[in-house]
Amino acid sequence: MKPFLRWAGGKNWLIKHIDSIVDTTQFNRYHELFLGGGSIFFHLENLNQSLLSDLNGALINTYIQVRDNVENVINLLETYRNAEDFYYQIRPILFDDPIEQAAQFIYLNQTSYNGIYRVNLNGVYNVPYGHRTKDFVQADLLREASIKLQGAHLVQGSFYQFIDNIQEGDLVFLDPPYTITHNNNGFIKYNERLFSEEDQRGLSRFIQEIIELGAYYILTNAAHHDIQSIFHHNPPLTLSRASLIGGKQAKRGRYEEFLFTNIENEFIEANRN
């Protein structure tokens, strides 16, 4: 199934490859520690227990409410309007109720410019109206997502917190914000605030612990020689994607990304550097 959120840096482009990389019947539990739009989680079938986390608390609350209170979220969304005046009216409101927070989050995500999640230094969401004509109330998709999320453990936090949850035979999918870029995509400064080079090196140490536990990992990252030197555990696959995110300095086109993994199969061996 498709994700119900638009997400800058999302992994929809990876879907065409993921079934050649992952056979979910070979693994125990599934962990996705930079959840974002959740493209890979929503695509994979036959998952056992899933731990899904992200540092963005508003995002995690949205997933929890879609899982537990989807009809209430849909009912609220149906009272909203896709209009510029309404967008700027609803954008600054700080709701106390978690269901209202989730409906607001989905509405802003679906009607904002490019689906970017961005806050100012005070933590206030500040993305402008997107002038989209597509219906933002995707009721059937939200209901499908609610079913898929049943039984998933959703937690806000940094990846560092979850090493004790990983056990032998588990699969961990990691899609951090890209600190280093091979493309002038207009988001590098913003991503450095989100995820520093030291965070990248901490993630490398985290991956070493995953390997030592006898678990498996998949890491996506920028195709850059510095990234290859940081994540030296396994040679990367180089995969091509389209650039879908615009910006003042953006250049749309096709770009390459690295995928690192300790999974072994014919597809991986054929596509390694």
For residue range 56-73, list pLDDT tens digits in order.
Answer: 999 999 999 999 999 999
Are 146 and 67 in contact by the 8 Å Cβ rule? The answer is: yes
Q: How many C-beta atoms lie closer than 10 Å to residue 85's C-beta?
A: 9
The answer to whether residue 179 sits within a structural domain is yes
Q: What is the CATH number of the domain that holds 217?
A: 3.40.50.150
The answer to whether residue 51 sits within a structural domain is yes
Question: Which pLDDT does position 249 carry in this prediction?
Answer: 43
66 and 28 within one domain:
no
| Mean pLDDT, residues 6-10 | 84
Collapse the DSSP code of 110 into the 3-class scheme (helix H, G, I; strand E, B; otherwise coil) and give the result: helix
Has residue 38 got a pLDDT over 90? yes
Question: Which pLDDT does position 142 carry in this prediction?
Answer: 98
181 and 51 within one domain:
yes
Maximum CA extent, the chain: 54
- For 85, the domain range is 56-153
Handedness of CA 2, 88, 80, 123 (dihedral sign): positive
| Mean pLDDT, residues 232-237 | 94
Q: In what order do the strands lie in the sheet with 216-222?
A: 153-156, 50-54, 30-32, 171-174, 216-222, 254-261, 237-242
The answer to whether residue 181 sits within a structural domain is yes
Total-model pTM: 0.90
| Mean pLDDT, residues 239-244 | 66
